[in-house]
Copies of this chain bind each other. A is one copy, B any other.
Amino acid sequence: MRLSWDRILAKRVAAFRPCIRTDFSRLSAPPDTIHFTGGAPPVECLPTEPLAEELARAWRSEPTALWYGETEGYRPLREAIAARLARRGAVVDPDTILVTQGAQQAIDLVARLLLEPGDRVLVEGPTYFGALQVFEPYAVRIEAVPLDEEGVQLERLEELLARQPRPKLFYTVPTFQNPAGVTMSLERRRAVVELAERYGVPIVEDDPYGDLWYETVPPPPLRAFSEDVLSLGSFSKTLAPGLRVGWLVAPRYLMKPLIDAKEAADIQSDRLLQRAIAAVITSPWYEEHLTAARRVYGTRCRTLADALARELGDLATWRLPGGGFFLWVTLQGDVDSAALLPHCAAAGVTYVPGSDFYPDHRPSPSFRLGFTTLSIEAMLVGAERLGRALRAALVEAAGR
């Protein structure tokens, strides 16, 4: 006899899904397809040597790092994170930092702490799909606040904050936003924090890209303006995503339940990697690494934007981000980029359609291009294919 799993599973399972809803494996694409879908540092920017050295050192010098230990995270790593945040304008006590399995676990722990069925949750529209993936199984109502060139739109945000029941949180990626590339201005940051405080709604700030500006340092994290902001970060973009080391800065009052939740979730993060990362990010190498990475990403971004201007300047618009990993392209007219994706894939180029970044999966004329893992040559070919395929698909659609 086999169990009837359908009857046994919790209702929330119906809301489980992969972070990207688009099933790329179902697209028919040639083997040499150029995928603008990535969101990771390129292999040549991975810190293989210095991390390997520090890991070997941690291993030899601290065999008890292979043991059970501090659930909240390795103290020198928390201090190093605090020191880096201080340089960006957010002064935080290392005791209010929890080390997590990447920023993703930080989002997950925050959801555990705050969300109940029926709660309202505000996100940006578009927003990071991995956050939607966490929030949706809590049976919450997710509402998207639109962005403009300075970040989330204040009037719409206030309108939604003021409504009852009060939202449980406002999730934002204020700096080099994923996917839209937008950076919240200094003035907007102050205003957003003030609004959230006025309406008693916690801000959850996701800030994995803040150190990856191209030419101009972005404004301080939202956490700089209020101790009530939950601020999360990651070494996935600045070092390597495979390490799974991120953090959560939380109001002091929340640290005890957060540490309990972390312990229930996985007891602790890997302790050797925490030691190696603490050594790496406090070494002179790290600043050189960031400087080099900024140059690489800035060059790739400009190259892609230039190529797009040539290939689909008449079809679409975009805004140059000041940092981060993504270009957000918006096609003219009332089109759904998800519907056009199969045509592009057939022509050997892919993107993540805009609909994946909205809680209601609404059709979107926008799509996200990730450029960090692609060579200049690949991007030029990709942009050319993209222009050709979109043009053909749009002409075909118009002719119908």
Contacts and interface: CB of A to CB of B under 8 A. Distances in A.
Contact of A68 (B8, B51, B168, B242): B242
Contacts of A114: 8-10
A251 interface: yes
Nearest to A7: B200
A13 B242 contact: no
Given A4-B200, A267-B244, A67 B40 contact: yes
A69 B242 contact: yes
A43 B63 CA distance: 7
Interface residues of A, number: 80
A296 to B, nearest CB: 16
Contacts of A257: 9, 13, 16
A134 interface: yes
Interface stretch (A85-93, A269-277, A379-387): A269-277
Contacts of A10: 112-116
B264 A133 contact: yes
Contacts of A134: 264
Chain copies in complex:
2
A64 B48 contact: no
23 contacts: A1-B198, A3-B202, A9-B257, A10-B112, A10-B113, A11-B116, A12-B112, A13-B113, A39-B68, A43-B64, A48-B60, A51-B66, A65-B242, A67-B241, A68-B241, A101-B269, A104-B264, A112-B137, A130-B267, A133-B263, A242-B268, A242-B270, A244-B270
Interface of A: 1-5, 8-13, 16-19, 39-40, 43, 46-48, 51-52, 55-56, 59-60, 63-69, 100-102, 104-105, 108, 112-116, 130, 133-134, 137, 168, 197-198, 200-202, 227-228, 240-244, 251, 253-254, 257, 259-261, 263-273
